[in-house]
Structure formats: structure tokens, C-alpha cells
Structure 1
């Protein structure tokens, strides 16, 4: 009887900790500030060697996403609700808004939705296949269902546990991008003065 009870409790514990899309969205929504390092590898058709890059990023619920590539060259990408800014050393910043480039700006909201696991925005653009991988791990496969996304991407796959750990992008030209995130930190829970300057207009 005792063995049976332990088995039932164990099964209940496993079921109770199964990850769901709703839980994931709630979990991500409770993190006001997330900092992480990233490494990115792009495999391009016709090129013998993949392209590697690395850097760090900052995601702030109220401000947006700040992406800083350090290697092989400096590249800064800033995403907020109103604009997307790309800055390369020695060049004028490229600013994209919903007014001057609505199609490109659409990717702004999609990137934010990816990092926040925003199911509403994602479901408008993709067919979602969410699976619990066990032991807190999860996988979300996004298959584009609207234009122009379905003309650009075959699939986007997100893998994670407590945090988003990787993104794999396969496009219609046969190219692939693998992004890995690590050293995730949620403290301090507010932006430092230096981080606030990243989002200053």
C-alpha cells in the first residue's frame, strides 16, 4: 500500500510539473529584466564555413530588447514598441518604424513575442507545436502561416527550461541559424543607469 501511494504521488508530481504554453508565458512575463550572453552560428548555402558571432543581450519588459554583437564586429540592435534601430561602427544608425517600413517593423513585434512567449502574437502568425520535454524542459516549433513569413521561413524552433536556451531558424533558401543563450541573469530586477542609456531616445 505504501509503495502504491508513493507511486501515485510520484506520478502526480510529474504531471503537476508538466510545462504548458500558458505557464511558460506567465513565467516569462514575471521577469522584468533578463540579461544573457549569446552565440550565433549561420550556415549559408554555397558557403563552406558557417558564420559565427557572439555578444550579449538585455530584455526589459517596459523598454524592449537591446542586442549587442561583439564578435566578429560590433553591431547593436535596439527594439522598442516604436522603433527598431541598427547601429554599426562608423555608420549612421538605421531606424525602422511602422510608418517608414511596416513590413520590416512587423519583425520587431515578432522578435519581442519570441522572447516573451507571447502566444497571442505568435498564434496570429504561426502554427504552434508546443511539447513538454520532461524535467522542466520544453520545445516550441513555429511554422509560418501568413505572408511574408511563410515565404521566408520554413520553421523557427525554440528550446528552453527556466529560460529560453536556443532558437533554430530554417529559411526557405536552405540556410539555417542556431542561436544559443547562456549566463542568463534576472538580477538586478531594475535597469542600471548604463542600461537605461541603451533605450534613451
Structure 2
């Protein structure tokens, strides 16, 4: 389940100059709210059929990340600085905190670092290989170097231009996950009345 949570979604501004990780971190911080749709495709070793899912998400710098899978079944995930809450229809929400599951909650710090493009924090867990591909395009490949991440993932690759557009995850079992983001919106710059309840779980 946590594989698809390594979702690092953020917003950067297109520039004609060479893009650096410091640029990304600065530009992430300038976007208070980002909304996007996503599609996800997972390939599992030994299975011919790929597993597909889709939905939408909201990232608020002050409130956290809300991930809403709509297909093939409804599932929502709320990630804040203090907790992770997963909710499926007809089931009680599952709440993870640093107190009740310290190892799982370690992903919270990781996702926060990814969300802010905080390369200094990422460098504690990953070897970073960043490439400016010209005309505002960029790629960042993360290779885990600490446990338990290096037992779970081979590489996590992000690429984008104006927005983060793709995340490709290759794990140690030979499985892969591809997440595509589209229809990104940054207006309005604050959560709407309809969006605020998503962050109150």
C-alpha cells in the first residue's frame, strides 16, 4: 500500500535557465495548494495483467496531502505531519502515528521531504542523481541507501517540467509502479469549503 504513497507531487515554475534541486525546493515552497488527477499502473512479477487505478489529490502546504483513489474502488489517504489516515468504504479508518507504528511513520518524514523537494533531507536516505534535461525539463532518480528503504526499493524516478508529471518506482521484488499526474491546478490558492473537510479526519 505504501508503494503508491511515495507519491511526491509538487509544483515548479518553468524556467529557461538550468534547473537545480535548490530551484525545485524554492518553487515547491511558493505554491500553497496543488490539485491534480492521477493514473497508476502497477506491474507485478508473475502476473500478465497490469493493475490500474486512478483518482485525484490535493496537496496543501499547511494541511497535508489528501489522496483519493476512485477506481477500481474508493480509497482515501490523508497524510499530515502527525498522522496517516487510510479510509475504505465500509471500514473503520486506519490511523498510523509515530507512537503506534514508528517504522511505518518513517515514511511520513520521507514524503514530507519529497513534497518539499528537500534534497538535504532526501540525501539522508537516498543517493540523488539529478538531471536538467533542457527547456525546464528535469529528472531526479533516488536510490535508497538506508534501511528499510533499501530492502524495499531499487529506484524511485521523478520527472517533470512545470509540474511533477511522472513517478516510476522499481522495487526489490521485480515489481514496478508508474504514476502519471495531469490536469494540475493551483487556483484557488487556499482550500475551498468543499475541500477543507478532507483534512479534518
With the length of structure 2 as denominator, give the TM-score of the two structures: 0.91
2:37 aligns with 37
Alpha-carbon distance in structure 2 between the residues aligned to 1:189 and 1:70:
24
1:189 aligns with 2:183: no
1:117 aligns with 2:117: yes
1:127 aligns with 127
1:163 to partner: Cα distance: 1.1
1:177 aligns with 177
SS at match of 2:166: strand
Structure number with higher relative contact order (C-alpha < 8 Å, ≥ 6 residues apart):
2
- Pairing of 1:63-82 with structure 2 (within 5 A): 63-82=63-82
Alpha-carbon distance in structure 2 between the residues aligned to 1:184 and 1:116:
17
SS at match of 2:195: helix
Q: 1:115 touches 1:164 (CA, 8 Å); kept in 2?
A: no
**Residue segments in structure 1 that go unaligned for 5+ positions in a row:** 1-14
1:16 to partner: Cα distance: 6.3
Q: 1:65 touches 1:112 (CA, 8 Å); kept in 2?
A: no
Greater gyration radius: 1
Normalized per residue, the structure richer in helix is 1
Alpha-carbon distance in structure 2 between the residues aligned to 1:162 and 1:103:
34
Alpha-carbon distance in structure 2 between the residues aligned to 1:69 and 1:136:
30
1:116 to partner: Cα distance: 2.4
**Residue segments in structure 2 that go unaligned for 5+ positions in a row:** 1-14
1:102 aligns with 102
Runs (4 or more) in structure 1 with deviation over 6 Å come to: none
2:142 aligns with 142
- Pairing of 1:3-82 with structure 2 (within 5 A): 17-82=17-82
Alpha-carbon distance in structure 2 between the residues aligned to 1:28 and 1:79:
17
Alpha-carbon distance in structure 2 between the residues aligned to 1:182 and 1:81:
26
1:11 aligns with none
Kindly report the root-mean-square deviation, in angstroms, between the aligned alpha carbons of the 2 structures.
1.2
